[in-house]
C-alpha cells in the first residue's frame, strides 16, 4: 500500500517532483508512493510523463476556461477531497501528501491534507518575498501551506531561516537543495538529449550567435508590466542588433495574445516562439549570453550553465542569485528593464557554483521517507 501521495499539476511541479519519484524507483521503493496529477497545466505536462517515464495513478480535471482563482481553488479542493474519499474506501489513504512550490495545487493539497489529518510534506518550502502581491498569489499560497506542514524540504539555508522566523520548529525543516538541479543534471547527462528531440525551429535558433532568452508569465506582470517589457525588447533589439532575442511565449491568453499582437515579430532579430520542451530549453541554455525572465525555475537553472540574468520584477524570492552577483532585479518600468540589460549584459560575472542545489536533493528527501516508512 502506498504511504505517500505525490501531487502535481503544473510544468514546474512535475520537473521538480520527477527526480524524487525516480529516486524512489531507484531504491525499489516505488510501491510506497502513488502519483496524482491535478492537470492544472493540462497541455504542458504531458510531454514530461514520457521524458521522465512517469505515469500518474490518478488524474483530476480542475480547469475550466475563464474560471477565477477562487473557483479554481474550490474546484481543486473538491476534486482532491473526492479522490481521498475514494482511496479511503479502498483502505489506501496515504500517511503523507507531498506537493511542491507555490501553486494552486500545493495550496489546495496542504488544506486538504490538514482537514483529513494527513501529514503534509512541502517541497521547496520557505521561499519568501514578504509581499503578498509579489508574486501574487504565490506568496500567500506557500505561506499558508507552511502553517500545517509536517516536514519542510527547504532548498537553501535562507529558506530555512525564513521558516524559523515564522515560528516553524527547526526539527521539522530539512535543507535539501532544489530538486530542479537534479532534473537538470538527469536530462543533461542522459541519452535523451540528442538532435531528434529538438525541433527544426530551435535548431535554426541554435545556429545563431549572441542569444538572449526572454520569458514572462507571472500574474503580477500581466498588463502594464508586460507592455513595458515588450517596449524594452523593441528598444534593445534596435539599439543592439548584434543580439538575437528569443521570447518564449506562454499559453495564458493574457500573455500570448498581447505578445502576438505586439508587432515584435516584425523585428528581424526578435524571435517569438511557442513553449519549448525541457530538452529544447536545456539546449538553448548552452548557447545563451543573457536571460530576461520572471520565472523562478529559470533563475534556479541558469547558474548551472553560468548564464547571468535579470529578473523582471520588483522582488524575488530567490535571493541567493542576487547575493552571489549573477542575478539582478530590473524592476518593471521600461527604463529599468533596458537599463538593467545594458548594465549587466557585458558585466564580468563569476558563476562558480549553483547556490540553489547540488543535484542530491532527491536523495536527501528519499532518505527522510525511507526512515519514516522503515
The residues annotated with a catalytic role in the active site are: 102, 124, 138, 217, 219, 250
Query: Residue 313 gets which letter from DSSP?
Result: B
Read off φ and ψ for residue 118, nearest 5 degrees.
Answer: -110, 135
Q: Can you tell me whether residue 6 is helix, strand or coil?
A: strand
**Residues near 305 by beta carbon (within 8 Å), at least 6 away in sequence:** 285, 286, 288
Report how far residue 357's alpha carbon sits from residue 371's, in angstroms, rounded to the nearest whole number.
23
Could you tell me which residues are beta bridge partners of residue 349? Answer: none
Report how far residue 1's alpha carbon sits from residue 153's, in angstroms, rounded to the nearest whole number.
24
What cell does 262 get? 505586439
Q: Can you tell me whether residue 143 is helix, strand or coil?
A: helix
What cell does 22 get? 525516480
Residue in 289, 274, 356, 347 with CA at minimum distance from that of residue 316: 356
Query: Residue 137 gets which letter from DSSP?
Result: T
Amino acid at each position: 500500500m502506498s504511504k505517500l501521495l505525490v501531487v502535481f499539476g503544473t510544468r514546474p511541479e512535475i520537473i521538480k517532483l520527477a527526480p524524487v519519484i525516480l529516486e524512489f524507483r531507484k531504491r525499489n521503493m516505488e510501491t510506497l508512493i502513488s502519483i496524482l496529477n491535478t492537470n492544472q497545466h493540462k497541455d504542458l505536462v504531458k510531454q514530461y510523463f514520457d521524458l521522465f517515464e512517469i505515469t500518474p495513478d490518478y488524474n483530476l480535471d480542475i480547469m475550466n476556461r475563464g474560471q477565477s482563482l477562487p473557483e479554481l481553488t474550490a474546484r481543486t479542493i473538491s476534486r482532491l477531497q473526492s479522490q481521498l474519499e475514494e482511496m479511503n474506501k479502498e483502505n489506501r489513504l496515504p500517511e503523507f501528501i507531498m506537493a511542491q512550490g507555490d501553486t494552486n495545487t500545493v495550496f489546495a493539497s496542504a488544506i486538504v491534507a490538514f482537514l483529513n489529518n494527513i501529514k503534509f510534506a512541502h517541497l521547496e518550502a520557505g521561499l519568501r518575498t514578504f509581499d503578498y502581491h509579489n508574486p501574487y498569489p504565490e506568496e500567500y499560497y506557500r505561506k499558508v501551506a507552511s502553517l500545517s506542514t509536517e516536514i519542510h524540504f527547504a532548498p537553501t539555508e535562507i529558506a530555512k531561516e525564513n521558516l524559523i522566523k515564522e515560528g516553524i520548529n527547526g526539527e521539522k525543516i530539512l535543507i535539501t537543495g532544489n530538486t530542479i538541479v537534479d532534473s537538470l543534471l538527469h536530462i543533461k547527462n542522459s541519452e535523451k538529449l540528442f538532435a531528434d528531440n529538438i525541433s527544426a525551429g530551435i535548431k535554426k535558433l541554435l545556429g545563431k550567435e549572441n542569444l538572449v532568452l526572454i520569458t514572462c508569465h507571472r500574474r503580477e506582470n500581466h498588463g502594464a508590466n508586460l507592455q513595458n517589457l515588450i517596449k524594452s525588447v523593441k528598444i534593445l533589439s534596435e539599439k543592439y542588433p548584434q543580439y538575437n532575442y528569443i521570447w518564449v511565449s506562454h499559453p495564458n491568453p493574457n500573455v500570448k495574445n498581447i505578445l502576438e499582437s505586439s508587432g515584435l515579430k516584425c523585428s528581424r532579430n526578435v524571435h517569438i516562439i511557442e513553449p519549448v520542451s525541457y530538452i529544447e530549453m536545456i539546449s538553448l541554455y548552452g548557447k545563451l549570453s543573457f536571460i530576461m525572465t520572471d520565472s523562478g525555475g529559470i533563475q534556479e537553472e541558469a547558474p548551472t550553465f553560468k548564464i547571468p540574468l535579470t529578473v523582471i520584477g520588483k522582488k524575488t524570492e530567490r535571493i541567493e542569485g542576487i547575493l552571489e552577483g549573477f542575478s539582478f532585479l530590473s524592476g518593471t518600468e521600461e527604463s529599468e528593464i533596458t537599463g538593467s540589460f545594458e548594465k549587466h549584459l557585458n558585466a564580468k560575472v563569476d558563476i562558480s557554483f549553483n547556490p540553489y542545489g547540488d543535484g542530491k536533493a532527491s536523495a536527501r528527501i528519499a532518505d527522510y521517507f525511507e526512515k519514516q516508512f522503515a
